[in-house]
Amino acid sequence: MDIESTLIPVEEVAEAVDGFLAASPAARAWDVETAFDWSRADAGRLTEGQRSAVQFVTLIEDHLPGYFEVYHRYFPVDDSVSREAFVHNRELYHFTVRWALEEDTHARALTRYQESAGIAERSSLRTELAIEGQKPFDLPYDHPVQFFAYALVQEKATQMYYQQLRDVVDDPVLASVLARLSRDEARHFSFMADVVGRYLRVHGDATVEPIRDVIANFRMPLADTMRGYWRWALKIADVASYDHTEAYEHLIKVIDRTVDTRTDRLDELVRFIEECHTLA
């Protein structure tokens, strides 16, 4: 499928991007160096499972170059696309560079916590992160709505995990880090939800099969490349009573508030998403 032919109008993307940037001005941004008192970070206040969870999510967040490259590859801002697609992608780029900055800040904050709290030494942690960071990441989609539907679920699931992990850890520094991260992920989710809603309004039933494919084959980032991912993921899920399929409910909410009268195909999609959550 030609991605260009299924894009939403550039005005729709621009409105979504403008809304996101207006809700998150640079003046409200936080930085790793001054937002926390790193001298008080203490991994001795964490359980073994909580320490493992911090190590796991650091690896996930630090793969940011791979995630960003996916958006650059599928929504390029160069002469490989038509002028109309370039204009669309250039508007989207205003979001992706801000998103990438914030996600990179998450990776740096978690890395800094590990160093300050005594979980890992900086030199060895760099090497550990590089082992996973050099592995390729891809989202093998051919409809643009899929990239946003995937990110909608992934961002909401990550937000929920950070919130739930924050509620059980006993180190105030880590709790503060997780609170910052979860708030950012909530804003990223809101943007993805806005864009998915716009695709539903513009393309209607044509979005059903692409979104269904996302849910049918959903994997959190690095699930297919990180050695021992599933065993580790199950371990850290138990730490914070976490199930990423709970995020599917929020995709259904986006459909409900976007579509006044569901078609039969949209009804079937909602039933499918509900079943995937129940089975999980």
Whether residue 167 contacts residue 269, with contact meaning beta carbons closer than 8 Å, is answered with: no
How do the domains of the chain map onto residue ranges?
A: 28-279
150: closest CA among 160, 159, 140?
Answer: 140
Q: What is the pLDDT of residues 190-211, one digit of tens each?
A: 999 999 999 999 999 999 999 9
This prediction's pTM: 0.96
Check residue 280 and give its pLDDT.
57
What dotted CATH number matches 28-279? 1.10.620.20
Mean pLDDT computed over 19-47: 93
Q: What is the pLDDT of residues 140-172, one digit of tens each?
A: 999 999 999 999 999 999 999 999 999 999 999
Average pLDDT, the chain: 95
Check residue 109 and give its pLDDT.
98
Check residue 1 and give its pLDDT.
64
